[in-house]
Amino acid sequence: MPVEERLFSLVLALLATEHGLTKHEILSTVTGYAARYATDRDRGSLERQFERDKEELRDLGVPLETFDAQGAENDTKFQRYRIPADRYQLPDEVRFTPDQYALLGLAAQVWREGSLSQDSRRALTKLRSLGLALDDAIIGMAPTIRTRDAAHEPLTLAIDRGQQVTFRYLKPGRTAPELRRVSPLALVHHEGRWHLQAHDDAADAPRTFLLRRIVGQVSVAGAATRRPAADEPARALAELREIWQRTVAVVRPRPGSEADVVLRNRAETRVLGESLEIRTTDLDILADELTAFGADVVVVEPASLRDAVDARWQAILERHG
């Protein structure tokens, strides 16, 4: 169960009790703990998880109270826990419309597989426990964005925890990956791909990495030398959009072909007679895409892109005849 679901269940249980619940009652009945409590012989790890969850709730600002049971003062085994409902409410000046509640829930439904930052997951948990009302008709139509890059989740954790990481990165045109040591700053989704904005600690310079080019595992290497600014994701996206605007290619697709349909409908494509002016942030990736269209597209310019597509077809000929 995702941690935010377990915390949500814990908040609901502690809000619903007036007299509090003991640790035994929580672990044996609350969703997120009960299944493990019933099957694990060693419950020490489960109790440590509960201790971490308590601290997480308090970090969220949840007024979690601990008090001694009558007649069992100072006996932690019988301590009880509760969340007073009158102390756990949205401020009077904060109000959400039904549509805003639905949009908050919809946003949470879209992101999957570790895409949400830790702060975002915690915020969602708090909003839901405060009474987030969702429109099932809307949520039933929610799209999903999945992070297919294995590096995404460890990089997200490293950003949340302020950790430096190492990974092997395969640059275009190279046959062997290079070891990189970086302080990750932001993960952004642009042009259908995930990018890492980071400070390259070996080069002492900012760098942007494409997650699909990270080879193997991402490993923690210590404390980060740089921490992200509040507007780090926005700045990273702005840089990528600037590259997008100035990196232009002209291609001529065969009319009515798949290449014609796909390329004509790319964002900000301009029609130039029989040719199309298209934009990209990465000419090497664009070369891969154009190669897949075969004879249905001709690269007019730039010459470097035309040569890259030609080189890919030469490699195919060499391997397959």
Domain assignment present for 181: yes
Domain assignment present for 57: yes
pTM check: above 0.95: no
How many domains would you assign to the chain? Answer: 4
The mean per-residue pLDDT over the stretch 303-309 comes to: 95
Domain CATH code at residue 49: 1.10.10
**Is it the case that residue 261 has pLDDT exceeding 50?**
yes
- Per-residue pLDDT, 117: 53
Indicate whether 7 and 79 sit together in one domain: yes
Indicate whether 78 and 22 sit together in one domain: yes
For the segment 269-284, what is each residue's pLDDT rounded down to a tens digit? 999 999 999 999 999 9
For the segment 239-252, what is each residue's pLDDT rounded down to a tens digit? 999 999 999 999 99
Domain assignment present for 215: yes
Domain assignment present for 147: no
For the segment 48-97, what is each residue's pLDDT rounded down to a tens digit? 889 988 888 887 778 899 888 776 676 677 789 999 888 877 777 877 78
- Per-residue pLDDT, 141: 43
Reported for 75-81, long-range contacts at CB under 8 A and 24+ positions apart, including other chains, are 77/22, 77/23, 78/22, 79/22, 79/23, 80/19, 80/20, 80/21, 80/22, 81/14, 81/20, 81/21, 81/22, 81/23, 81/26, 81/54
- Per-residue pLDDT, 112: 46
Indicate whether 14 and 71 sit together in one domain: yes
Indicate whether 226 and 163 sit together in one domain: yes
Domain CATH code at residue 196: 2.30.30
For the segment 102-133, what is each residue's pLDDT rounded down to a tens digit? 777 666 665 544 445 555 555 656 555 555 54
Indicate whether 25 and 75 sit together in one domain: yes
Domain assignment present for 236: no
- Per-residue pLDDT, 129: 57
Find the domain containing 309 and state its range: 247-320
